[in-house]
Amino acid sequence: MNYQRGYIKKICSFYAGDCHFVAMILPYVIKMNKRQANIVTLLDKEINQYIDKLLDNINIDKKLKNNIKKIGWNGLDIKEKDLEKFFDEKLQRNKENIFIIKKQSNDLLDKKLEQIIQEKLQNILRDNIKLNLIYCYNIENLKSVDNIIPKYEYVLNTSGIHEIKKVFQCNLSENEEIVENKFVV
């Protein structure tokens, strides 16, 4: 019997503007779309023009381009009370789920999403749901990544998903707060 449990993988990513966000996320979206993953976006604003422009300039199958355009690159104005319903409607069983969350300044929504995931954790694992949560941060809105990196095990960049410790060298204190970050080139 080939039994595989569900999982939740928390991934961070950093971008500098909408065009860079699309250029950074698109290779991963193409790869996961080919694997027929369920890709869901929570964006602070509509980015269809960037998706269209980049897709028009790369050589991939027309059907794949259309599938990617249909994902939903519109900005969503989800209220805290509607987030759980949105999450439940979009999550698919027995399929890899990719939730791309373009971080906003709305910490209430971020905390609510974390609360929803924690409440549903046992069901996600039991029901064989594979969930990749990709939190994308605009570096222009950050003073530092020091308080962000410890929350994640993985980072997404244009070359794919990598373990944080292979991309960032982190010296951690005993209470696991980042003391110093150095980007590994």
Domain ranges within the chain, ordered by starting residue: 7-147
Q: How confident is the model at residue 177 (pLDDT cuts 50, 70, 90)?
A: very low
Q: Which residues contact 16 (CB under 8 A, 6 or more apart)?
A: 138, 139, 140
- Tell me the per-residue pLDDT of 51-62, one tens digit each, with 9 for 90 and over: 999 999 999 999
Highest mean pLDDT among 99-108, 144-153, 165-174: 144-153
- Is the pLDDT confidence value at 68 over 90? yes
- Tell me the per-residue pLDDT of 95-111, one tens digit each, with 9 for 90 and over: 899 999 887 655 666 77
Phi, psi angles (nearest 5°) of residue 44: -80, -20
Question: To the nearest whole number, what is the mean pLDDT of the chain?
Answer: 82
Residue 39 structure tokens: 């890709």
Residue 73 structure tokens: 């690159």
d(CA 80, CA 58): 37
pTM score > 0.95 for this model? no
